[in-house]
Amino acid sequence: MERITIDPAVMSGKPCIRGLRVTVANILRQLANHRTTAEILTAYPYLEPGDIDACLAYAALRVEDEELAVSAA
């Protein structure tokens, strides 16, 4: 988790990638909207593939202990 930083002076303390002004939520939103890792890295050339992996790992840790209500289809 060393790639994910939380600093009150950067993006109001939202989890970001390596202190940059790119939030974990932004990357996750893009992945949820079917953007590929390659597309994201092209749009943000200062990011690295490991940054995308770190966002996914961070999200998995955040929801691991939460119980989510899922309705049956």
Q: What is the DSSP string of 31-48?
A: HHTT--HHHHHHHSTT--
47 assigned to some structural domain: yes
**Gap between the Cα atoms of 4 and 15, Å rounded:** 6
72 assigned to some structural domain: no
Residue-level pLDDT at 65:
73
Instruction: Give the mean pLDDT of the chain.
Output: 92
Q: What is the CATH number of the domain that holds 26?
A: 1.10.10.10
pLDDT digits (tens, 9 = 90+) for 27-62: 999 999 999 999 999 999 999 999 999 999 999 999
8 assigned to some structural domain: yes
Structure tokens belonging to residue 27: 């990357």
Q: Is the pLDDT of residue 67 over 80?
A: no
Range of the domain at 31: 4-64
Share of the chain above pLDDT 90, in %: 84
Q: Is the pLDDT of residue 73 over 60?
A: no
51 assigned to some structural domain: yes
